[in-house]
Every structure is written in C-alpha cells, then in structure tokens.
Copies of this chain bind each other. A is one copy, B any other.
C-alpha cells in the first residue's frame, strides 16, 4: 500500500465536510478524495439494505482513486454499513460512531448520555451498544431529530422556529438529566449554540468529527500509512466528487473548508 496515497472520505452530501475539515486541521499533510452522494441524499430515513448497497458503490468508486484508507463521515452509513464493508475491504475503514462514543463515555459524570441523530442512526441503537460495551453502567437516551437537517439546509441556524423544534426534541432528554449529548449527525454541530443554550452549560456537547480525525491520524501512524512524501501540488490535494449538483456543493464546501474549493466533479455513482 502506498503511504502517500489519499484518504477517501464520504457522506450522503455536505455534512461530512465537517469531518473533512477536522482531518485538514489535524493532519494537514494528508490528501483527501471526498465523495458526497447528493443524488440520493438523505440517508437518515432510508433502510439498512439500501445504505449498505450505496456504501459499497461509493467504496468501489473511491478505490478507483487508489485511496489507502476510508472514513465513513456519515452517522447513518457508519451505523448501518461499517461492519459489512469492513469485513469485505482490505484497507482500513473507520466510521464516526466509535470516536464520538468514546469521548462521551469519558466526559460523563453522572453516566447519563443523550444521543441525537437521524431516524436511521437512533433506530439502529448503535451508539447505545458501543457505549455500553465501553462501560456497561452507562444509560443512553436516543432521540431522532428528523427536522434538524432540513432546517440547517434552509439556513435557519438562529431562528425562533429552530428554537421551538429543538426545544421539543430536547425536552425528553432534559427529563432524563443527561450531562453529555452526542451530536450524532454531521449537520448538528451547526446548531451547537442553540442546543447549548437550551440544555444549559452543565451539559457537554460531543462532536464526533474532531475525535474521528484524531482516530484517523493514530490509525495511519500505527499502520505506517501516514504520508511522508514530497509536498503535493496544492490544487490537487483535496478532490471533490458528487453524484449531483456539483456547483452547489462547491459553494457549500468553500464556506465550510479553509481555502478555496475550485472544482467539484459529478459522477454517476450507480455505475460502480
């Protein structure tokens, strides 16, 4: 395996860019091939079988780019597809669940942790399973928040409607006296200030994107896959592919990532 090869990162759309941003910050020497499945998003309301099939197609596409490792930067795809694709792929594949779960387990004082995410992620029960394996005496309370993604995509980050919806979603978690909340969907960190205000300063918010970047860094080092080559031409270092609406993606990526994103290429993912 070529340790100077790029890392593949994928998501249903733009949400995974928050993970790519953390990778760029934590391991700036690494190259990234990013894929966003904008022709078939969202993933959060679809079935396990469908998400596994989509993830397999995307991994086949990323492997044509000779990536050395893959990050599933989507909580729903990590919940449903990680085990299946790890078993059949001979390069390292990591998701966003483990890193977020570990941080939450370390952060809690009263052993009551809340998790918010899509219907797929919460319905899978994966965060509960992983956290209770790490520490069996922990109580985990999941709450699906299906309106958060459309509200974020409408730009209503600081808005009375978002406050009202968030307050309804969080009320059952507040009743459980959680002291830690996992933001189990890559869009949710954009609502961080609203969520923190509603829950109060006593509750720690955990963003799995940051921890996942650290996990990737350690993994690459441990497997001697960390980049050591010459500097790579800056304009080819980060490459972006989507299944639809490339220009819209480019604007969004430029807003989220440091530096200008010049180009996003559209591919037909159904061919992989």
Which A residues have a C-beta under 8 Å from some C-beta of B?
38-40, 46-47, 49-50, 53, 146-147, 150-151, 153-154, 160-161, 164-165, 243-245, 268, 270
Write out the residue numbers on chain B whose beta carbons fall within 8 Å of the beta carbon of A270. 270
Distance in angstroms between the alpha carbons of A268 and B270 in the assembled complex: 11
B39 in contact with A245 (CB, 8 Å): no
User: Please, which residue of chain B has its CB at the minimum distance from the CB of A149?
Assistant: B150
B154 in contact with A164 (CB, 8 Å): no
Distance in angstroms between the alpha carbons of A263 and B268 in the assembled complex: 32
Distance in angstroms between the alpha carbons of A243 and B39 in the assembled complex: 15
Write out the residue numbers on chain B whose beta carbons fall within 8 Å of the beta carbon of A154. 146-147
The 7 A-B pairs with the shortest beta carbon distances in the complex, nearest first, are A150-B150, A50-B244, A270-B270, A39-B50, A40-B40, A47-B244, A47-B245
Distance in angstroms between the alpha carbons of A270 and B49 in the assembled complex: 14
Minimum C-beta distance from A245 to chain B (A): 5
Distance in angstroms between the alpha carbons of A140 and B47 in the assembled complex: 40
Partner of A244, one of B46, B165, B243, B245: B46
Partner of A46, one of B39, B161, B268: B39
* 18 A–B contacts from the bound complex (CB under 8 Å): A39-B40, A39-B46, A39-B50, A40-B40, A46-B245, A47-B244, A47-B245, A49-B244, A50-B243, A50-B244, A53-B268, A146-B153, A146-B154, A147-B150, A147-B154, A150-B150, A160-B164, A161-B161
Partner of A146, one of B39, B46, B150: B150
Minimum C-beta distance from A145 to chain B (A): 10
Minimum C-beta distance from A56 to chain B (A): 12
Told that A38-B46, A47-B244, A146-B150 touch, could you supply 11 new A-B pairs with CB distance under 8 A? A39-B40, A39-B50, A49-B244, A50-B244, A53-B268, A146-B154, A147-B154, A150-B150, A160-B164, A161-B164, A161-B165
Write out the residue numbers on chain B whose beta carbons fall within 8 Å of the beta carbon of A245. 46-47
Distance in angstroms between the alpha carbons of A211 and B199 in the assembled complex: 49
Write out the residue numbers on chain B whose beta carbons fall within 8 Å of the beta carbon of A146. 150, 153-154
A151 in contact with B147 (CB, 8 Å): yes
Minimum C-beta distance from A44 to chain B (A): 11
Write out the residue numbers on chain B whose beta carbons fall within 8 Å of the beta carbon of A39. 40, 46, 50
Distance in angstroms between the alpha carbons of A270 and B39 in the assembled complex: 13
Write out the residue numbers on chain B whose beta carbons fall within 8 Å of the beta carbon of A165. 161
Distance in angstroms between the alpha carbons of A151 and B156 in the assembled complex: 14
